[in-house]
A and B are shown apart, each in its own frame.
Chain A
């Protein structure tokens, strides 16, 4: 079977879509999500801002976010990219496999945050390294299966490849003792996973 060669997504759409999937974000996070240099990302933001698609927020949590027009533009462009690559069927199939893994990821995040003590679910205070390493081992096992889905996705649309890089990075950091990379940090496994989930829904035009 042959498919049309999927082209790399242009930087403008990468930036637009990152805001669609991750919400209001800083330049630093935009760099982490897209892999673009901060200066390149910023110049894309300024162009998108000129078109009225993104807006810069100040205040307590400064950052960039989509305008309503930006949301509509992203939906149109991301659908166009999907159809042009003839990738809808493959992304849908991968999304269905993702949905099988998703409950397990949520179970694992919960197990990371809470564990039963005397029949009462209590906050995991991370004082038991044996427990934490059991949970992390299951994260690693899940990640091996998620990598298969990730490979299918990036074969269909190369931009999905960033998620694999970020998920691997989060897991490696967590394994090296930086526990916030499991579910707390904005670069944590859970947050990256949730962004991938949102991306799949946005790409396929589905609602949760």
Chain B
């Protein structure tokens, strides 16, 4: 085939053709790990689409062949009334462009296929909710609807009322698509797939994606691949769910899996931070087999990358599937600890460890902490999502944070954050959110910016009208001085005493190796010692 490759251990192409995401899935296949069957439309197909303004000649036939193959491998029928096959359609360029392009879930769930799924599972609310997820993701990919189209409140799983609610929601989203794009959602699975592929290809050239590439120096002519895989349902039943996991703690580098899990839900909801997730460890109690499978996978992936890794996973009726993998990209003290412990484990040598730690990471490694939680007046406690301590005045909105930051440091306190809060996150010196876990938007952005953050503070409420924050029965107004410790998760009133852990064992070990590599054992500051070692190693 010219435009399509099967996702298999035999796929032999590069990230330039398959995209980084598909290449990761090929690596998982080669490691013998569970990946939902699927295929990838190459970046070449995208470039042809962007050049000609239409899907390339022959792609339709290839799609039909690839889908028929997928039907054979899964024993299911695309859009069929019996054992319907649903797929996910995701973008995957050769460079990471987080959140810039589209994903469509549960595609192929036509009205008829949805009834088929309901009959097959004996769970009509599940089937309707899967169809609603399809329509919502299809709507946001194919129209300019900026606002989420799905009603925010989900009722509990009470059969009668929930079915009626889901049916109404399905109709509302169908109406929205008709209104916004002037054509209805096709009720034909191959047509849905065609439109979804066009939408993902087009999203490469969306102004926002262009801006991202422009400012990050990424060429515009790369294009994105499109990954089509059999859908696995994290919302299938009580033994289903979805999650994200780091093989080690990205805050400290400690060698213990770290992440979060959301039982009974599908993909996107974990990363959005909109739902309250559970610590990854809970998987061990609730789904011991899934947990064991995940631990085994993380270990094997680490050995393959010789690095910490990050995976996105779903489990359906107790069966684990891996949906995405990448290296961990640790920073600061976590990068130092990771590098030294990978040496201890024989995965990399000392020289490579030195080269993996940049002087900037070393500076970030000297993380301060609140000296004593007993001494401090702790207002609230949540999950430490990015280490470090910062003191500032409370701002309850992103715009408020930008405004207040002109006159002094600000702590942004929000129910949760979205990309629309970026200016406030950038202006703030620390971030606190009531909802979300360690991989929520707020946590990821805070870590990327190296700002102390505490997320998932149970019982924290923010009153926008009153511009006040309430926790543990105490209400404090916007402008109140607080201190955030992103390691312990403590949020304290005022500015308690702070200490810096100057005797970090891992930093000392790494710097001793640095001096050995450079042959310079004179007294210099830490950054210089590492830089000299880098120069010596690179000139070898």
**Once bound together, how far apart are the Cα atoms of A142 and B206, in whole Å?**
12
Residue contact B331 to A106, C-beta cutoff 8 Å: no
Chain B residues contacting A113 (CB-CB under 8 Å) are 426-427
List the count of A-B residue pairs having beta carbons below 8 Å apart. 94
Asked if A122 lies at the interface with its beta carbon under 8 angstroms from chain B, I say: yes
B402, B423, B425 — most chain A CB neighbours (10 Å): B423
Residue contact B146 to A99, C-beta cutoff 8 Å: yes
Asked if A190 lies at the interface with its beta carbon under 8 angstroms from chain B, I say: yes
A76 CB to closest chain B CB (Å) equals 18
Residue contact B208 to A121, C-beta cutoff 8 Å: no
Residue contact A107 to B422, C-beta cutoff 8 Å: yes
Chain B residues contacting A135 (CB-CB under 8 Å) are 214-215
Residue contact A138 to B426, C-beta cutoff 8 Å: no
Residue contact A114 to B146, C-beta cutoff 8 Å: no
Chain B residues contacting A106 (CB-CB under 8 Å) are 419-423
Asked if B360 lies at the interface with its beta carbon under 8 angstroms from chain A, I say: yes
Q: Which B residue's beta carbon lies closest to that of A195?
A: B399
Q: Chain A, 130-152, contact with B by CB distance < 8 Å: what is the 0/1 string? A: 01001101100110010000000
Known: A23-B403, A119-B331, A194-B399. A111 touches B215 (CB 8 A): yes
Asked if B211 lies at the interface with its beta carbon under 8 angstroms from chain A, I say: yes
Residue contact B364 to A120, C-beta cutoff 8 Å: yes
Residue contact A134 to B215, C-beta cutoff 8 Å: yes
Q: How large is the interface on B (under 10, 10 to 19, 20 to 34, 35 or more residues)?
A: 35 or more
**Once bound together, how far apart are the Cα atoms of A151 and B423, in whole Å?**
26
Residue contact B361 to A102, C-beta cutoff 8 Å: no
Asked if B182 lies at the interface with its beta carbon under 8 angstroms from chain A, I say: no
A208 CB to closest chain B CB (Å) equals 8
Known: A121-B448, A134-B215. A114 touches B426 (CB 8 A): yes
Residue contact B211 to A117, C-beta cutoff 8 Å: no
Residue contact B423 to A110, C-beta cutoff 8 Å: yes
Chain A residues contacting B216 (CB-CB under 8 Å) are 111, 116
Chain B residues contacting A191 (CB-CB under 8 Å) are 402
Chain B residues contacting A118 (CB-CB under 8 Å) are 358, 360-361
Asked if B144 lies at the interface with its beta carbon under 8 angstroms from chain A, I say: yes
A112 CB to closest chain B CB (Å) equals 9
Residue contact A120 to B419, C-beta cutoff 8 Å: no
Q: Which B residue's beta carbon lies closest to that of A22?
A: B403
- Interface positions of A from 92 to 113, Cβ below 8 Å from B: 96-97, 99-104, 106-111, 113
Asked if B212 lies at the interface with its beta carbon under 8 angstroms from chain A, I say: yes
> With A101-B207, A111-B211 given, can you name 18 additional A-B contacts, CB distance below 8 Å?
A97-B144, A99-B147, A100-B146, A103-B420, A106-B419, A106-B422, A107-B419, A109-B422, A110-B425, A111-B216, A114-B426, A118-B358, A119-B329, A120-B332, A135-B214, A137-B214, A138-B211, A183-B423
Query: What are 29 inter-chain pairs, A to B, with CB distance below 8 A?
Result: A96-B144, A99-B147, A101-B207, A103-B146, A104-B207, A106-B419, A106-B421, A106-B423, A107-B208, A107-B211, A108-B211, A109-B426, A110-B422, A114-B426, A116-B216, A117-B360, A120-B331, A120-B332, A120-B358, A120-B360, A120-B364, A121-B450, A122-B450, A138-B210, A141-B211, A183-B402, A184-B406, A190-B423, A198-B399
Residues of A within 8 A of B (CB): 23, 61, 96-97, 99-104, 106-111, 113-122, 131, 134-135, 137-138, 141-142, 145, 183-184, 190-191, 194, 198
